[in-house]
């Protein structure tokens, strides 16, 4: 099944690997839903350059609709629920 977000929506995949400040791996079952997600698909009404596929973004805590595709949790959110893009540290 292929999901294509409509209008101003974005399809996101949560970043599931988390490590504490001390370097300890935290399993995803022990944490709340990640607010850091990866862009999978973009609706056609979003201005080019706003987001790119594979960008890491910070999302509002309870934003979006959860969907399960091929046993994988994905979220469809409005572009306005995306708070920031996240780049690599330099």
What average pLDDT score do residues 13-39 get? 69
Specify if 4 maps to a domain. no
- CATH code at 73? 2.30.33.40
Specify if 2 maps to a domain. no
Specify if 21 maps to a domain. yes
Specify if 35 maps to a domain. yes
Q: Is 71 left (phi over 0), alpha (psi -120 to 50) or beta?
A: left
Q: Which of 19-23, 26-30, 80-84 has the lowest mean pLDDT?
A: 26-30
| pLDDT tens, position by position, 28-71 | 554 566 789 999 999 999 988 888 999 999 999 889 999 998 88
Please report, for residues 1, 66, 72, the alpha-carbon distance to residue 43 in angstroms, rounded to integers and kept in the order given: 17, 17, 20
Return the structure tokens found at 66. 């959860």
């Amino acid at each position: 099944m292929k999901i294509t977000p409509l209008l101003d929506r974005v399809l996101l995949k949560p970043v599931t690997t988390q490590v504490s400040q001390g370097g300890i791996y935290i399993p995803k079952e022990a944490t709340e839903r990640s607010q850091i997600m990866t862009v999978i698909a973009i609706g056609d009404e979003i201005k080019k350059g706003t987001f790119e596929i594979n960008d890491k973004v910070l999302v509002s805590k309870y934003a979006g609709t959860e969907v399960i595709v091929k046993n994988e949790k994905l979220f469809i959110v409005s572009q306005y629920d995306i708070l920031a893009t996240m780049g690599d540290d330099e």
